[in-house]
Amino acid sequence: MGKVARIRGRRAGGSRAKRAARSVATVSEAVSKGQPGGLYKPLSDADIQRIHGAALHLLENVGIGNPIPEILHYALPAGCLLGEDQRLRFPRSLVEDLIAQSATSYVMHAPDPAHSLEISGQRVYFATSGEAVSIFDYDSRSYRPSKLVDLYDAARLADTLDHIHNFGQPFIATEYSQELYLHNINIAYAELAGTRKPLSLGIAEVEHIDSLINFYDTYLGKEGGFLERPFCIFGGCPIVSPLRFARENAEVLVKVAELGLTADIAVAPQAGATSPAALAGTLAQCFAETLACLAVVNMVRPGSAIDFGMWPFVSDLRTGSFSGGSGEEALLMAATAQLCNYYGLISSVASGMTDSKCMDAQAGYEKGITTTAAALAGGNLISSYPGILGSLIGQSFEGMVIDNDMIGSIQRLLRGVEVNDETLSLEVIEQAVHGVGHYLNHPQTLDVMQSEFLYPTVADRRTPGAWEAEGREDIVALAHEKVKNVLSSHYPVYIDTAADARLREKFPIRLDKKDMQAGNGRW
Amino acid sequence: MGKVARIRGRRAGGSRAKRAARSVATVSEAVSKGQPGGLYKPLSDADIQRIHGAALHLLENVGIGNPIPEILHYALPAGCLLGEDQRLRFPRSLVEDLIAQSATSYVMHAPDPAHSLEISGQRVYFATSGEAVSIFDYDSRSYRPSKLVDLYDAARLADTLDHIHNFGQPFIATEYSQELYLHNINIAYAELAGTRKPLSLGIAEVEHIDSLINFYDTYLGKEGGFLERPFCIFGGCPIVSPLRFARENAEVLVKVAELGLTADIAVAPQAGATSPAALAGTLAQCFAETLACLAVVNMVRPGSAIDFGMWPFVSDLRTGSFSGGSGEEALLMAATAQLCNYYGLISSVASGMTDSKCMDAQAGYEKGITTTAAALAGGNLISSYPGILGSLIGQSFEGMVIDNDMIGSIQRLLRGVEVNDETLSLEVIEQAVHGVGHYLNHPQTLDVMQSEFLYPTVADRRTPGAWEAEGREDIVALAHEKVKNVLSSHYPVYIDTAADARLREKFPIRLDKKDMQAGNGRW
């Protein structure tokens, strides 16, 4: 009973402190966005070099199939070779040169510059992502198709969540999924109306890019304004694994590079299905595929920035289905972060893609393990999928709130321990030992209360007694209260009346104004 | 919609594989116990040396209060100094010598030698632990006092869970908590009856050690048998922070060392309450306190093995309460693992001590983050507290099952990626690209299905459609089914009839035989 007695003793100490009624605001001085990662290195340097060598071998010898004319236009003069099998082969030295030319940093602009992110080194940021197709409904515990208004709500919610740094489109507006132009314009509108954080958007058709730039220029009231400070990143999946270009998304890739924008890509072969079941083989193939995209944008425009989205996915080989929450997925993503950082690439990794269908303990630990591994390995842009469920099938608003607290904890871990004369506290310790025998009221304790410790917003730290007396809610119930509070009250006016009029005149905006005002009864 | 289309495409591939009806047993070839950690290094070498220097400074200058006579007996001749303030001071060079002498490895024996563990290097093992006082009941969602029969059930359950390597007493038998002799003997009996994995036991009174050795010798039918191959580790908390010995547990520490047994200790100052709120200061103080224990056992018997349980705990400074699930806790424990490994100590760290009161998403992510950090940092013995809830207040049987799957995932992460010619799969990739265009039926896929991938036992990977159709259970419900199945059927006979008769004749065994047989109606 030794251990437990000791712990109970400390809880008593806790009560003393409680009586001192130190109530404080829960602000996040303890963590900051863009903290460096990379102290977890799953691969040896030799492993990294072998994977790199295998990827360059594949690019040189197997090449990438379906090279679209837009790519051939740049690639053949640059030194790529088109084989009789219509596969585009990349000489090793060319790829090495293009890696060396590729941008190693960029500023991810936000509608509000205060939210802009400096993407460089091993700085770590967290983003929503996904393009799921459904919402997991709290009351019915079932999945329903996601709508445009849900996206606006998700953006407003993310706007209030400290540890989400980039709002990537988490799901589609299913009611417009067959009308891609209408869909993209309205997604862009809903994102912009809901948050001032940096935005991302999946683009399926290259011709929508000009429309979207026009949309953003109209919002700004300035032609050419968007390209001066592009606060939305356009993304897609330019590869169909194994080792083929995907026509539409590859066209987007070329166009984005031509415009001087950062390309945001996800190359996601699935081990055992579209890449080898051996994890090293999946890394080699996926590295080759993603390097092909890096090569393309840098042949189009040397020095292009690309979010190097090398996203090896994992199959559950019993069924062949994608398993986003597995230990293998955590490992692969951490390995890619390290691999990218080793070569100075801007790493974009995925995490949090739980296989659970609801926000339960499985969702918690799968998200916790995968996101911890990705962050410690130093992924620059972690699509940590706050709120995603069911191997990327659906989004939970409550999950966004819970995952925000989770990411906060991971950010605190990432920050590390500052070791210096002051923090080593030798004098403080001597004072406590020779004085009152504890630290509860020591000035240092109060001083570092907000700087050393991060307090969660919904995670429950009540005593079991209080919890039992006050309703035994799980964290989903607590998060649901927060979702309702935020979404019934946080109706920011990020698109002012004049801009809104300009946009609605020129574009088919379908988000109803009454859904964008408090008191509409939706929450 | 690019990303999502790609994923949907792959799920279709999955169905194809499903039709091939590859049903396989879920065996754990993909991970093994004792895999090495240490690839996550939260501290720099300079940080480590400064913390070490601060700890030695504290031992030399502030010393440890309440040095009991049994310690003074060994410490003063060895060179420690007793000040006028009755604090025992440890010269720096003495501590350094004792660190150098201390054992760097040992075999943790199990009742069944097949379960014995080689504790050395950066090998990582996972253990139950805790000495909680209650069980979180599945049906009533409330805490009730833990009983002796619960401990027997927990041992039987752990016996079937692959990723729990050491059965440390997870909770006490509250009905005997005022009768320590009765309690210890019965805990020892219940553990031994329920599992053949290595055992641990918290000892509060030094005189119980001889009784327990007698108990185990009686079980073996051989006087002196236990000390030849001690399959239960005796532990306690020999320190009251800041920097004082705890009388009873310090007596246990000395006695254990005198017997040549491994000391299993937990030194758990709580940052902001019984150690500095500055994390570096907590590490310095806790390292000093734990080194004092290492010094004691090595002054008693040079070369002693000690599970270096440097367990800095974290306060929520808003209330002063212990917060076991925080990011700060994950960070501190990972730092201690690295610190211990740097000096060749046998690191014992804690994780999984969630603050949630039920097995919800908060419990999942807090357990996931803290256990991932501890494992990647290379903690040798991770008291990962499978099933614990409420900052160590109570144990959930369902939680044990869920956490076992979680630890499995973390073990898979820990194992890493094997990179060699075969796994890089260049030929396999060429075959797929030039052949059928996928890997679903490639011989490699089937070959590595069990060696590269770990399949969870209860974690749910069904499709959302199947989940909705089949009952929408969360993982706690799935785990409860497993708990009932195991506990209604797994009644191992690890204490044979003759040994049982010997034990029951000599010791006041209170575990009812009818509770130890199938069909007793308890589950």
Does B369 contact A406 at a Cβ distance shorter than 8 Å? Answer: yes
- Calculate what percentage of chain B has a pLDDT beyond 90: 94
Instruction: Share the mean pLDDT of chain A.
Output: 94
Provide the sign of the torsion angle of the four alpha carbons A153, A154, A157, A159, taken in this order: negative
Alpha carbons A271 and A282: distance in angstroms, whole number: 6
Q: Does residue B14 have a pLDDT over 60?
A: no
Both tokens assigned to A337: 């972060």
Q: How far is A492 from chain B (nearest CA, A)?
A: 27
Both tokens assigned to B104: 């760097």
Quickly tell me which residue has 């050395």 as its tokens.
Answer: B120
Please report the DSSP string for B172-230 in residue order: --GGGTT-HHHHHHHHHHHHHHH--S-EEEE---TTHHHHHHHHHHHHHTSTTHHHHS-
Residue B171: strand pairing partners: B132
Model confidence band, residue B350 (pLDDT cutoffs 50, 70, 90): very high
Per CB-CB distance under 8 Å, the chain A contacts of B13 are 270, 273-274, 320
Does A439 contact B276 at a Cβ distance shorter than 8 Å? Answer: yes
Q: How far is B519 from chain A (nearest CA, A)?
A: 31
Q: How far is A185 from chain B (nearest CA, A)?
A: 13
Alpha carbons A156 and B401: distance in angstroms, whole number: 38
From B7, B386, B331, select the one nearest B159 (Cα to Cα): B386
Within an 8 Å CB–CB cutoff, is residue A12 touching chain B?
no
From B469, B457, B14, select the one nearest A357 (Cα to Cα): B469
**pLDDT at residue A90, rounded to an integer:** 98
Interface of A with B in 86-125 (CB under 8 A): none
On the 0-12 / 13-18 / 19+ scale of CB atoms within 10 A, B247 is middle
Per CB-CB distance under 8 Å, the chain A contacts of B237 are 2-3, 5-6
**pLDDT at residue A182, rounded to an integer:** 97
Residue A245 DSSP SS3 = strand
Per CB-CB distance under 8 Å, the chain B contacts of A423 are 278-281
Q: Does residue A124 have a pLDDT over 50?
A: yes
Q: In what order do the strands lie in the sheet with B321-322?
A: B270-271, B313-316, B321-322
Does A274 contact B438 at a Cβ distance shorter than 8 Å? Answer: yes
Within an 8 Å CB–CB cutoff, is residue A469 touching chain B?
no
pLDDT tens per residue across span A420-436: 999 999 999 999 999 99
Within an 8 Å CB–CB cutoff, is residue A21 touching chain B?
no
Per CB-CB distance under 8 Å, the chain A contacts of B413 are 42, 327, 330-331, 334, 369, 373
Interface of B with A in 323-382 (CB under 8 A): 323, 325-328, 330-332, 334-335, 355-369, 372-373, 376
**Residue B72 phi/psi, 5° resolution?**
-55, -35
Alpha carbons B387 and B129: distance in angstroms, whole number: 10
* Mean pLDDT score, B348-363: 98
**Residue B517, Cβ neighbours under 10 Å: how many?**
10
Alpha carbons A389 and B364: distance in angstroms, whole number: 14
pLDDT tens per residue across span B280-301: 999 999 999 999 999 999 999 9
Instruction: Read off the DSSP letter of residue B380.
Output: S
Per CB-CB distance under 8 Å, the chain A contacts of B374 are none
Residue of B nearest to A179 (CA): B1
Quickly tell me which residue has 């003997």 as its tokens.
Answer: B185
Residue B245 DSSP SS3 = strand
Does B43 contact A416 at a Cβ distance shorter than 8 Å? Answer: yes
Model confidence band, residue B22 (pLDDT cutoffs 50, 70, 90): very low
User: The pTM is what?
Assistant: 0.95
Does A202 contact B1 at a Cβ distance shorter than 8 Å? Answer: yes
Kindly report whether the peptide bond that precedes residue A91 is cis, defined as omega within 30 degrees of 0. no
Straight-line distance from the first to the last Cα atom of chain B, in angstroms, rounded to the nearest whole number: 49
pLDDT tens per residue across span A467-522: 999 999 999 999 999 999 999 999 999 999 999 999 999 999 999 999 999 999 99
Model confidence band, residue B217 (pLDDT cutoffs 50, 70, 90): very high
**Residue A304 phi/psi, 5° resolution?**
-60, 150
Residue A37: strand pairing partners: none
Q: How far is B276 from chain A (nearest CA, A)?
A: 6
pLDDT tens per residue across span B260-275: 999 999 999 999 999 9
Q: Characterize the bridge pairing of strands B232-236 and B199-202.
A: parallel
Straight-line distance from the first to the last Cα atom of chain A, in angstroms, rounded to the nearest whole number: 49
Interface of A with B in 213-242 (CB under 8 A): 235-237, 240, 242
Radius of gyration of chain A (CA): 24
Per CB-CB distance under 8 Å, the chain A contacts of B55 are none
Q: Which residues, including other chains, have CB under 8 Å from residue B457's CB and lie 6 or more apart?
A: B26, B401, B404, B405, B408, B482
Model confidence band, residue B12 (pLDDT cutoffs 50, 70, 90): very low
Does B13 contact A47 at a Cβ distance shorter than 8 Å? Answer: no
CA atoms within 13 A on the CB side of A423: 15
* Mean pLDDT score, B375-389: 98
Residue B40: strand pairing partners: A40
Alpha carbons A51 and A59: distance in angstroms, whole number: 12
Interface A–B counts its CB contacts (< 8 A) at 598
> A9: phi > 0 → left, psi -120 to 50 → alpha, else beta; which?
alpha
Per CB-CB distance under 8 Å, the chain B contacts of A422 are 278
Alpha carbons B285 and A31: distance in angstroms, whole number: 24
The single-letter code of the amino acid at B370 is: T
Best of A365, A391, A433 to disrupt the B interface (most B CBs within 10 Å) is A365
* Mean pLDDT score, B213-239: 97
Per CB-CB distance under 8 Å, the chain A contacts of B430 are 61-62
Q: How far is B498 from chain A (nearest CA, A)?
A: 31
Quickly tell me which residue has 């208004």 as its tokens.
Answer: A149
Please give, one letter per residue, the 3-state secondary structure of A54-119: HHHHHHHHCCEECCCHHHHHHHHHHCCEECCCCCEECCHHHHHHHHHHCCCCEEECCCCHHHCEEE
Does B131 contact A2 at a Cβ distance shorter than 8 Å? Answer: yes
**pLDDT at residue B18, rounded to an integer:** 38
Within an 8 Å CB–CB cutoff, is residue A62 touching chain B?
yes
- Calculate what percentage of chain B has a pLDDT beyond 70: 95
Q: How far is B438 from chain A (nearest CA, A)?
A: 5
Both tokens assigned to A311: 């996203």
- Given this structure, which CATH class describes domain A100-415? alpha beta
Alpha carbons A93 and A76: distance in angstroms, whole number: 15
Model confidence band, residue B19 (pLDDT cutoffs 50, 70, 90): very low
**Residue A346 phi/psi, 5° resolution?**
-85, 100
**pLDDT at residue B130, rounded to an integer:** 82
- The shortest CB-CB distance from A360 to any of B327, B360, B448 is to B360
Alpha carbons B226 and A272: distance in angstroms, whole number: 49
Alpha carbons A456 and B326: distance in angstroms, whole number: 9
Alpha carbons B194 and B115: distance in angstroms, whole number: 14
Instruction: Read off the DSSP letter of residue A137.
Output: E
pLDDT tens per residue across span B481-512: 999 999 999 999 999 999 999 999 999 999 99
Q: Which residues, including other chains, have CB under 8 Å from residue A386's CB and lie 6 or more apart?
A: A126, A128, A158, A161, A164, A170, A352, A399, A400, A403, A404, A407
Q: Picking from B17-26, B155-164, B300-309, B336-345, which range would have the lowest pLDDT averaged per residue?
A: B17-26
In total, chain B counts a number of residues equal to 523
Within an 8 Å CB–CB cutoff, is residue A172 touching chain B?
yes
Domains of chain B, residue spans = 100-415
Both tokens assigned to A421: 């004369």
pLDDT tens per residue across span B124-165: 999 999 889 999 999 999 999 999 999 999 999 999 999 999
Q: Does residue A14 have a pLDDT over 60?
A: no
- The shortest CB-CB distance from A280 to any of B314, B358, B419 is to B419
Best of A8, A181, A319, A358 to disrupt the B interface (most B CBs within 10 Å) is A319
ipTM of the complex: 0.95
- The shortest CB-CB distance from B475 to any of A235, A361, A447 is to A361
> Is-contact A336 A286, C-beta < 8 A?
yes
Both tokens assigned to B433: 């690209």
Model confidence band, residue A444 (pLDDT cutoffs 50, 70, 90): very high
* Mean pLDDT score, A403-420: 98
Does B409 contact A355 at a Cβ distance shorter than 8 Å? Answer: no
Alpha carbons B165 and B415: distance in angstroms, whole number: 16
Determine the distance from the C-alpha atom of residue A483 to the mean position of all C-alpha atoms in its chain, rounded to a whole number. 20
pLDDT tens per residue across span B186-210: 999 999 999 999 999 999 899 999 9
Residue B35: strand pairing partners: B124
Per CB-CB distance under 8 Å, the chain A contacts of B474 are 356, 358, 360-362
Per CB-CB distance under 8 Å, the chain B contacts of A396 are none
Q: Which residues of A80-94 are buried (b: 16+ CB within 10 A; e: fewer)?
A: beeeeeebbbbeeeb
Per CB-CB distance under 8 Å, the chain B contacts of A15 are 320
- Calculate what percentage of chain A has a pLDDT beyond 90: 94
From B336, B64, B276, select the one nearest A421 (Cα to Cα): B276
